[in-house]
Amino acid sequence: MVTSHYQMLFNTTAGNRRSLRIMHPNPDLDQPEIVNAVQQMLANDISDPARGRIESLARMDFVISERKNIL
């Protein structure tokens, strides 16, 4: 079985980092669409302000995992 996800790491206003995983991303999205989506996430932050709002994207990876059942 092969699965994929986006792994995102954000910097927060409190100086911390917050991670987010988006499972089963749309493989047909091009880079400008992905950048636009990240900008929308930053503009409409839903995180708890007391823990620090997300302010910038530190890293984003596209991860593909393959799992084979043996037993």
Is residue 71 domain-resident? no
Residue 29's pLDDT band (cuts 50, 70, 90): very high
Structure tokens at 7: 């792994």
Cα–Cα distance for residue pair 29/49, rounded to 1 Å: 30
Residue 63's pLDDT band (cuts 50, 70, 90): very high
Residue-range definition of the domain harbouring residue 6 = 2-66
Is residue 30 domain-resident? yes
Q: Which residues contact 39 (CB under 8 A, 6 or more apart)?
A: none
Number of domains in the chain: 1
pTM of the predicted structure, to 2 decimals: 0.82
What angle is formed at CA 39 by the lines to CA 34 and CA 40, rounded to 5 degrees?
95
Is residue 26 domain-resident? yes
Total Cβ atoms within 10 A of residue 54: 21
Is residue 43 domain-resident? yes
**What is the reported pLDDT for 36?**
96
Is residue 58 domain-resident? yes
